[in-house]
Amino acid sequence: MQSKQTREGKRRILIGACGSVDILTLPRYLVAIKTGIDCELTVLMTASAQLFLPAASVGLYADRVIAGERPEDWPTDKPSRIVADHDLLAVLPATAHMLATAAQGAAPNRLATVILASNFPVLFFPVMGAVMWEKAAVQRNVRQLREDGYQVAEPVWHENYDVSLGRMVGHPSLPSPEQTVELMRTSLRR
Ligand SMILES: Cc1cc2nc3c(=O)[nH]c(=O)nc-3n(C[C@H](O)[C@H](O)[C@H](O)COP(=O)(O)O)c2cc1C
């Protein structure tokens, strides 16, 4: 696997942000990555991710944001260019949809295409409801991804206030920003 870095010796990290409710915590993770790793940080957002968090807001915490699925959004950001520009992809948060898509080797959108075209370590950070996470189909996709050489981080249980239910509800979510940075550092050393 080819190791790439900028002329200044910085690592080039790509975050693939999916449409999970926990994308609202993404800025905390981006700050932790920028302060914990000497890197250039790009965020590639799915269309669903953009429904939760505007690309312009994410741009306040990253060096570069790539968003949009129309061909005219792609001229300078083709999947091959994005792959050539980076040496680690963390899919964070990773939805059940994106795990299934990558486990199938499908490329229906820009992030999935980059995952399929990647020649560097890809680390998934799944977030979803507990029932979803325990479903045989999701666990099968996680096993498949690991068998295919991808890394899938174990989710960590989080309690959030659910407005519609009017109580705290737990679900498998992201490790802490510090743990996430450590996992990314380990992947970069491989
Ligand atoms: C309010 C809301 C919260 C959601 N949170 C999650 C989540 O945490 N995990 C998940 O797998 N899907 C979640 N979904 C479903 C995804 O947004 C949906 O599957 C979407 O197609 C994912 O697209 P993407 O994987 O291309 O980003 C949520 C949907 C809504 C409306």
Query: Which pLDDT does position 7 carry in this prediction?
Result: 66
**Taking Cα atoms as reference points, which of 87, 34, 86 lies closest to residue 62?**
34
pLDDT at 151 over 80: yes
Could you tell me the distance, in angstroms and rounded to a whole number, from the CA of residue 99 to the centre of ligand 1?
11
Question: Ligand 1: which of 48, 141, 164 to mutate, judged by most atoms within 8 Å of the beta carbon?
Answer: 48
Q: Name which of 136, 138, 79 is nearest 107 in CA terms.
A: 79
Instruction: Give the whole-angstrom CA distance, residue 140 versus residue 99.
Output: 10
> pLDDT digits over 69-121, tens only?
888 887 888 999 999 999 999 999 999 999 999 999 999 999 999 999 999 99
Signed CA dihedral, 93, 68, 14, 100: sign only: positive
pLDDT at 2 over 50: no
Q: Any idea which architecture 11-189 has in CATH? A: 3-Layer(aba) Sandwich (3.40)
Q: Is the CB of 49 under 6 A from ligand 1?
A: yes
> Which pLDDT score, from 0 to 100, does residue 1 have?
44
Q: Give residue 33's pLDDT.
A: 98
Q: Sorting pLDDT into bands at 50, 70 and 90, what band is 5?
A: low
Cβ neighbors of 74 (< 8 A, separation 6 or more) are: 68, 110
Q: Ligand 1: which atom is nearest the Cα of residue 22?
A: 8
Share of the chain above pLDDT 90, in %: 85
d(CA 119, CA 84): 9
Distance CA 189, CA 69 (A): 32
Give the pLDDT of residue 162.
Answer: 87
Pocket flag, ligand 1, residue 156 (CB < 6 Å)? no
What was the pLDDT predicted at 77?
86
How does pLDDT run across 17-50, given as a tens digit for each residue? Answer: 999 999 999 999 999 999 999 999 999 999 999 9
